[in-house]
C-alpha cells in the first residue's frame, strides 16, 4: 500500500473502468504485449471478485499527472463507479541498449466517479515473490493481480 485517502468512502462497486497502462520505458514494441497481459489479468481478477462489471478504455492517461476531469467524464459516460489508472515499469538490466529483465512493478491509482483520488498501490514482482524465471508477460499478469488484490483488501477495510 502506497497511499490511501481516508476522507473518501467507497460504497458498493458495480462497475470498474481500467485505462491502458502507461508503459515504462516508452518503447512501442512492448506496449501491445503489455496491454494484452494486463487486461488478461484484470479480467481474470475481476471475475474472481464477483459480480463487478469491468470496462477497458483504450485512452492513454499519464500516471504521474492524472487528468481528473477526463477521469470524471469517462466514468460518467460509462456509468463507472471507480476508475483505475495503471502503470507497468520494466526493469533494465545491463548497459547501453535496453535489455529487459522479466521483473516489473505494476502501480495503480484508484479514482471515484467524481475524479477524486482514493488510493495508490503497487506490486513489485521481484519483491513480491522473488521471481527470477518466467516471461515478462507472466510477470505483468502476476504484478497486476497482486496490485488488484492489495487494492481490494484496502477497500474492504
What pLDDT digit, counting tens, does each position of 79-135 carry? Answer: 999 999 999 998 866 665 656 677 899 999 999 999 999 999 999 988 766 555 678
**Full residue range of the structural domain in which residue 119 is found:** 3-156
CATH code of the domain containing 36: 3.40.50
Question: Is the pLDDT reported for residue 7 higher than 90?
Answer: no
Percent of the chain with pLDDT over 70: 89
pTM strictly above 0.75:
yes
Rounded CA gap, 101 and 62, in Å? Answer: 24
The C-alpha cell of 6 is what? 481516508
pLDDT of residue 50: 84
- Closest residue by Cα to residue 110 from 7, 14, 16: 16
Number of domains in the chain: 1
Rounded CA gap, 28 and 37, in Å? Answer: 15
Amino acid at each position: 500500500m502506497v497511499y490511501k485517502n481516508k476522507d473518501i468512502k467507497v460504497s458498493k462497486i458495480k462497475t470498474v473502468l481500467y485505462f491502458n497502462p502507461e508503459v515504462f520505458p516508452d518503447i512501442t514494441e512492448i506496449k501491445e504485449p503489455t496491454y494484452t497481459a494486463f487486461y488478461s489479468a484484470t479480467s481474470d481478477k475481476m471475475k474472481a471478485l464477483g459480480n463487478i462489471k469491468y470496462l477497458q478504455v483504450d485512452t492513454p492517461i499519464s500516471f504521474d499527472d492524472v487528468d481528473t476531469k477526463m477521469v470524471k467524464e469517462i466514468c460518467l459516460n460509462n456509468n463507472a463507479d471507480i476508475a483505475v489508472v495503471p502503470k507497468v515499469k520494466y526493469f533494465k538490466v545491463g548497459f547501453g541498449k535496453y535489455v529487459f529483465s522479466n521483473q516489473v512493478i505494476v502501480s495503480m491509482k484508484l479514482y471515484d466517479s467524481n475524479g477524486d483520488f482514493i488510493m495508490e498501490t503497487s506490486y513489485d514482482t521481484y519483491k513480491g515473490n522473488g521471481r527470477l524465471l518466467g516471461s515478462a508477460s507472466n510477470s505483468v499478469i502476476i504484478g497486476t493481480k497482486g496490485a488488484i488484490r492489495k487494492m481490494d483488501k484496502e477497500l474492504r477495510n
